[in-house]
């Protein structure tokens, strides 16, 4: 059924129906707030199914969108840290990180995509779930970066990045990463978390211990510290990583992902 420019009353009725059907637990004031906020997100002549979908997506994601947009929100920094990890995961899942090309680092690409995501949030209309929409924004942004970069150095007759079958994206069927890519991604995320904590020394120790698989004695000789001090710093690094909410959430979601520490 098509709605002719849904009125606040139409939206209020749909929100009330969804509230009852799905057990959202909204009181009358909250339901009215939903209907008022949703009015600007509904396309003219949207059918009832589309309106219900937008309402449902709004219910699940509007608090997160608010935290991302509002710099004064108490969770603003935390949610952006979480989304920086989501951006890195997305780049690996979409096959957009070339582990053999240090000139284009995964973290740089993730930051570029987050900048695009931040500027696009004001235009998010809840027609899909936030993470599905963000996945598409991140992939589109980084593919454009790669395309612009490659256009400067590749012969004109080579296939464009958009036509590369290895980068075909199906949002409804994202395949699991292979074990070695899980490991590479986890290492990248750990580096990211340690840098956000402002500890380049921990990054260095992590590289030696977990990436190069050196002993504490070997590391001690390289960094000119006593082995006991190296072990203490590595324990601090482990504790920091184990307490990091974003990293723990990622490992939990990945299930059988290899452990870096």
- The DSSP element (H or E) to which 76 belongs, if any, is helix 76-93
CB 35 within 8 A of CB 51: no
Reduced to 3 states, what is the DSSP secondary structure of residue 2? Answer: strand
| Average pLDDT in the chain | 78
- In this predicted structure, the answer to whether residue 202 has a pLDDT above a threshold of 60 is yes
Contacts 24+ apart (CB under 8 A), 33-41: 34/58, 34/59, 35/8, 35/11, 36/8, 37/62, 38/11, 38/126, 39/6, 39/8, 39/11, 41/125, 41/126
Residue 179: what pLDDT? 45
Mean pLDDT of 64-88: 89
- In this predicted structure, the answer to whether residue 261 has a pLDDT above a threshold of 80 is no
Across 87-101, 180-194, 225-239, least confident range = 180-194
């Amino acid at each position: 059924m098509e709605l002719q420019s849904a009125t606040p009353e139409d939206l209020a009725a749909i929100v009330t129906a969804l509230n009852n059907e799905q057990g959202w637990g909204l009181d009358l004031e909250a339901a009215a707030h939903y209907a008022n906020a949703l009015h600007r997100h509904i396309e003219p002549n949207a059918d009832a199914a589309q309106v219900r979908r937008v309402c449902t997506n709004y219910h699940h994601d509007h608090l997160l969108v608010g935290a991302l947009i509002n710099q004064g929100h108490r969770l603003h920094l935390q949610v952006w840290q979480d989304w920086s990890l989501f951006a890195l995961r997305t780049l690996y899942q979409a096959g957009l990180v070339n582990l053999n090309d240090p000139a284009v680092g995964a973290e740089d690409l993730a930051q570029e995509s987050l900048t695009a995501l931040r500027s696009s949030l004001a235009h998010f209309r809840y027609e899909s779930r936030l993470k599905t929409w963000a996945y598409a924004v991140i992939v589109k942004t980084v593919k454009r970066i790669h395309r612009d970069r490659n256009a400067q150095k590749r012969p004109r007759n080579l296939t464009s990045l958009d036509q590369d079958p290895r980068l075909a994206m199906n949002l409804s069927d994202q395949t699991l990463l292979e074990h070695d890519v899980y490991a590479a991604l986890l290492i990248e995320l750990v580096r990211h978390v340690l840098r956000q904590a402002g500890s380049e020394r921990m990054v260095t120790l992590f590289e030696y211990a977990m990436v190069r698989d050196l002993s504490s004695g070997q590391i001690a000789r390289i960094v000119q510290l006593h082995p006991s001090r190296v072990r203490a710093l590595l324990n601090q690094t482990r504790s920091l990583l184990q307490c990091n909410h974003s990293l723990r959430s990622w490992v939990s979601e990945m299930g059988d992902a290899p452990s870096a520490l």
